[in-house]
Structure 1
Amino acid sequence: MTIYNYFGSKEALLKEVFKDYIDQSISEFEEYMNKDISVKEKIELIILQKREANKQKFALTVIKEVMIEDSEIMDYVKRQYDEKIIPLMLQMIEEGHRTGEISPKITAESFLIFMNMIIEHSKTLGEAFEKNRQFTEEMLHIFFYGLCGRP
């Protein structure tokens, strides 16, 4: 009965818990992105960010289901991404250009597209990263130096 007094329904409670989860994740990301560390370290976090899936409150499948089924949640996540994550990524790219850690040939748009490709495949990559440290090192090398580049 208390749930209904505060939230109106179990679904409304789930939405609030989900929004809180998203807000906490973004706060952690903001905190890390504002640390005084190299751009390379920040990018490694993004790539290797398994999001401690085993420790999190939600399984990725539940998150996807909630987002697909609920346009309000989908809009909330998109708004948070556009208003908070994208500006942090753009700030990091600018910093990388300024410090020489990111090539001036790389535009913010191409960097964001590339990062989105990696994020889209994060589940597959995360499983491979966990199984094989050598694979992790190779993928990070490809990301930072390309197929033919050198550190």
Structure 2
Amino acid sequence: MDGFERRTSIKKEKILNISAALFQKEGIKKVSISRIAKEANVSQVTIYNYFESKEKLLYEALIYFVNQTWEEYLEIAQRSIPFEEKMKLFIFDKGQVASHLHEEFYNYMMDLYKTEGNYIEQLYQEKALPAMMQLFNQGREEGFIDSNISDTALFVFLQMFSDYVQKDEMGDQILPLTEELMKLFFYGIAGKGESKKPD
């Protein structure tokens, strides 16, 4: 990559970073290209040269957000800490982030997730699911997950959850319940996990 390509790449990432942050916080309709250009300290022409339209920028910003979120989850999953500590981080930190997504951005993401062969589903199947199964193996080894629960049962449970959230009418119901659903997912209805926030 030469100097021009590197500068272009850095500029595009800055635009995506700012766009994703604005869309998450303020929604889609309220955020204009001119606002993004001002925040990113670039011209509107530059944004259109890179992304052609607001719709394409929105899509790329969503992919950027999904990739960043995945990297953050993976970093936690790979830490040398007990399984239960990882679960607390997922629930209290990442769960709160998800629950504060603007409804427009969340619905856009869920609409994409419902399309066949979409990027989010590919990421889930190819990277997230194998990483989660490794994490569950750690939970078994530490006695947090019942060793009698097979990988097949866990996979079916995860797939049921994935299929459910893709239903048309589920988006509005799930978003405000994100933290509760994560607790239910990891601790079950018995609620054996500690509920206090980690230090």
Q: Same fold (TM over 0.5)?
A: yes
Read off the aligned partner of 1:94 and give its amino acid letter: N
Distance 1:127 1:69, change over 3 A: closer
Query: What is the distance in 2 between the residues matched to 1:109 and 1:19?
Result: 29
TM-score scaled to structure 2, two decimals? 0.53
Q: 1:92 aligns with which of 135, 143, 153?
A: 135
Residue 111 (structure 1) aligns with: 154
Residue 65 (structure 2) aligns with: 21
Q: 2:88 aligns with which of 26, 44, 51?
A: 44
**RMSD of aligned alpha carbons:** 3.7
Query: What is the distance in 2 between the residues matched to 1:19 and 1:65?
Result: 12
Distance 1:70 1:32, change over 3 A: closer
Distance 1:112 1:106, change over 3 A: same
Q: Which runs of 5+ in 1 are unaligned?
A: 130-135, 146-151
Distance 1:108 1:61, change over 3 A: farther
Residue 101 (structure 1) aligns with: 144
What are the superposed Cα offsets for residues 72-105 of structure 1, whole Å, 9 maximum, x if unpaired?
7971111111122111110011222233322111
Q: How many residues are matched?
A: 136
**Partner SS, residue 97 of structure 2:** coil
Q: Say whether residues 1:63 and 2:106 are aligned partners.
A: yes
Answer with 2-11 or 112-121: which moved more: 112-121
Query: What is the distance in 2 between the residues matched to 1:54 and 1:117?
Result: 17
Answer with 5-14 or 59-68: which moved more: 59-68
CA contact (8 A) 1:15 1:73 kept: no
Residue 11 (structure 1) aligns with: 55
Read off the aligned partner of 1:142 and give its amino acid letter: A
Q: Stretches of 4+ moved more than 6 A in 1?
A: 70-74
User: How far 1:15 moved relative to its partner?
Assistant: 1.1
User: How far 1:63 moved relative to its partner?
Assistant: 2.6
Residue 170 (structure 2) aligns with: none
CA contact (8 A) 1:66 1:73 kept: no
Distance 1:112 1:43, change over 3 A: farther
**Partner SS, residue 146 of structure 2:** coil
Distance 1:111 1:46, change over 3 A: farther
User: How far 1:114 moved relative to its partner?
Assistant: 4.6
Residue 123 (structure 2) aligns with: 80
Larger Rg: 2
